[in-house]
Amino acid sequence: MSVTVRFAPSPTGNIHIGNVRTALFNWLFALKNGGQFILRFDDTDVERSKQEYADQIASDLDWLGVHPHRIEYQSKRTASHDAAAERLKQAGLLYPCYETAEELDRRRKIRLSRKLPPVYGREALKLTDEEKAAFEGEGRKPHWRFLLPNFEDSPFETRRTEVHWDDVVRGPQTVDLASMSDPVLIREDGSYLYTLPSVVDDIEMGVTHIIRGDDHVTNTGAQIALFRALGAEAPAFGHHNLLTTVTGEGLSKRSGALSIKALREDGYEPMAIVSLAVLIGTSEAVAAARSTEELAETFDPASSSKSAAKFDPAELDVLNRQIVHGLPFATVSDRLASAGVDISDPRAETFWNVVRANVEKVGDAASWWRILTEGPDSEAALEGEDIDYVRQAFDLLPAGEIDASTWGAWTSAAKEATGRKGRALFMPLRVALTGRRSGPEIADLLPLLGREGILARRP
Ligand code: GLU
């Protein structure tokens, strides 16, 4: 069977690492199975959906290496949704209800006090045509509910009706349709809630696997019933665990700092985000992968655990560092250039190879470039006796070409002349040369500085 999956965000904000987990589970599943990946914008909420968010989501995904085969907008598919709603109405499976929120709440409380499950009692099904006409006459507009197939003869006598599916992530699942209310599919103002458009589009787009967060597990029971009511076979489902913050709160489109846009602007590597988004909360070790293709090879949706996984930005930093330390010059040269490194300088490539193990983000290399080409940083300064020591040491800089052996020869000469050793010998020179107490090997920096560059730093 050919596989078709979809990632269906609502374009009502910027996506975060938790949303990306869903996108990537689908993308890797498609890659692994040679399938198609649809990016479908669930934008039926016209008030809150914005094209700029849709554009940002598409660009975030592209940056992360997720390249949809198709892009669809639910808002352009209203005719299909209307046709499906009409079919359900004709079949008596979508019925008008006139209760207000207060009425529903009152009934719910009564049911609870009678120890009955707080589900909708289908009172609207008992309305006569006259009663409906009277409501309409008062200006009341109906909302529409889907009649769940959880009864034999009378809809008022529901019975346990199990829906089963073999979840791609969680294994065998069971939901009892008698434990839930008939879902509202259409609001009073005629707009659709998410359920019906989602099912209609999944059918018409030939979606074979719906992989999404486990906050949708109960929806799935009703959605399977809806697929069947529309004459379609339900696709396979997979529900992965959700990500929370370190303190256990759910990630939301409002937690701006964790949005992909913000992480990208902050200089994170896409594969650090991708690796963490996929591997966190699974039985696999979290390690930096080189590409989504590499991740797809070992990707197993079933390895994700059932409980929520905590997203810790410190883990992202670790992965980012690992990746940055292995990036070749050719891969980063554009970014180095925009951060201020003169990549036409013949030293640029060696410079990158020397500093990359000392930076967290690619852009951090720019400060080392300034140290190299403009002068020491102001983070650390020489004090007291160290000033005289450094002056003395500078006079001992070996003659001849400045190369990889210069540092060893230089410090030996300084040691002999001053009796200093260890930190007291090296650190003042590092501080004089770079204005920092830590950083790349000085032995590697010296050839980049050259004799003139070194001597210009004599205090
Ligand atoms: N728009 C829905 C959401 O973001 C999609 C859920 C689904 O994948 O079916 O929660």
pLDDT at 345: 97
| Ligand 1 pocket, residue 238 CB under 6 Å | no
CA of 87 to the centre of ligand 1 (A): 24
Helix, strand, coil tally for the chain in percent (to 5) = 50, 15, 35
H/E/C letters for each residue in 263-323? HHHCCCCHHHHHHHHHHCCECCCCCCCCCHHHHHHHCCHHHECCCCEECCHHHHHHHHHHH
Quick one: 176 exposed, middle or buried, by C-beta within 10 A (0-12, 13-18, 19+)?
middle
Please name every residue paired with 243 in a beta bridge, in sequence order, or none if there are none: 309
| Ligand 1 pocket, residue 42 CB under 6 Å | yes
Tokens found for residue 57: 């989501």
Residue of 72, 198, 240 best suited for mutating to test ligand 1, as the one with most atoms within 8 Å of CB? 198
CA of 293 to the centre of ligand 1 (A): 25
Strand pairing report for 209-213 and 184-186: unpaired
Instruction: Give the atom of ligand 1 at the shortest distance from the alpha carbon of 6.
Output: 8
CA of 226 to the centre of ligand 1 (A): 16
Show the domains of the chain with their CATH numbers: 329-374 (no CATH), 385-455 (1.10.10.350)
Q: Give residue for tokens 């930093």.
A: 317
Residue pair 278/18 in contact by the 8 Å Cβ criterion: no
Residue pair 448/350 in contact by the 8 Å Cβ criterion: yes
CA nearest ligand 1 atom 5, residue: 8
Residue pair 227/210 in contact by the 8 Å Cβ criterion: no
Count CB neighbours of 35 within 10 A. 18
pLDDT at 30: 97
DSSP label of 182: P
Instruction: Give the atom of ligand 1 at the shortest distance from the alpha carbon of 42.
Output: 1
CA of 7 to the centre of ligand 1 (A): 8
CA of 425 to the centre of ligand 1 (A): 62
pLDDT digit string (tens) for the chain, length 459 residues: 799 999 999 999 999 999 999 999 999 999 999 999 999 999 998 889 999 999 999 999 999 999 999 999 999 999 999 999 999 999 999 999 999 999 999 999 999 999 988 999 999 999 999 999 999 999 999 999 999 999 999 999 999 999 999 999 999 999 999 999 999 999 999 999 999 999 999 999 999 999 999 999 988 999 999 999 999 999 999 999 999 888 888 887 666 668 999 999 999 999 999 999 999 988 888 899 999 999 999 999 999 888 889 999 999 999 999 999 999 999 999 999 999 999 999 999 999 999 999 999 999 999 999 999 999 999 999 999 999 999 999 999 999 999 999 999 999 999 999 999 999 999 999 999 999 999 999 999 999 999 999 999 999
Three-state DSSP at 249 gives coil
| Ligand 1 pocket, residue 390 CB under 6 Å | no
Residue of 40, 41, 216 best suited for mutating to test ligand 1, as the one with most atoms within 8 Å of CB? 216
| Ligand 1 pocket, residue 8 CB under 6 Å | yes
Helices (H), ranges, 41-91: 51-64, 78-90
Find all residues with CB under 8 Å of 458, minimum gap 6, and list them: 390, 391, 394, 432
Distance between CA atoms of residues 144 and 92, nearest Å = 11
